[in-house]
């Protein structure tokens, strides 16, 4: 990850909610923590986030929704669209 903090939702269906999708990419850590707390309360589930320094692995993909495993061991769903491709750097295993 090179840019933004990304919210992780427990299911793809929750990540697909229009309001959640709009909130997924966040610029500052303090806002990410506040947003995760807010959505956890609103949705009555655990919403977490990962930082721009995280290493992530895409476990599953369904359209613009991806299931992510972070270097901190968190698993969840978020959304990525092509306009955010510059936020990521691919690491190839040689």
Instruction: Indicate whether 93 belongs to any domain.
Output: no
Does residue 94 fall inside a structural domain? Answer: no
| 77 in any annotated domain | yes
- Our count of domains for the chain comes to 1
Q: What are residue 88's phi and psi, to 5 degrees?
A: -120, 150
Bridge partners, 58 (sequence order): 68
Segment (H or E) for 93? none
Residue 83: how many CB atoms within 10 A of its CB?
7
Tokens of 81: 């669209």
Instruction: Please name which of 4, 23, 5, 7 lies closest in space to residue 78, comparing C-alpha atoms.
Output: 7
In a domain, 76, yes or no: yes
Give the residue numbers spanning the domain of 22: 5-87
pLDDT tens digits, residue range 2-28?
Answer: 456 788 999 999 888 766 666 666 777
Residues 52-74 have pLDDT tens digits of 778 888 899 888 888 989 888 99
Q: Does residue 10 fall inside a structural domain?
A: yes
pTM over 0.75: yes
């Amino acid at each position: 990850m090179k840019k933004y903090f990304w919210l992780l939702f427990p299911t793809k269906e929750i990540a697909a909610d229009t309001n959640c999708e709009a909130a997924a990419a966040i610029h500052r850590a303090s806002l990410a923590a506040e947003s995760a707390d807010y959505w956890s309360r609103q949705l009555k589930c655990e919403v977490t986030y990962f930082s721009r320094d995280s290493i992530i692995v895409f476990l599953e993909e369904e359209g613009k929704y991806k299931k992510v495993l972070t270097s901190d061991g968190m698993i969840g769903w978020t959304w990525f669209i092509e306009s955010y491709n510059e936020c990521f750097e691919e690491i190839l295993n040689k």
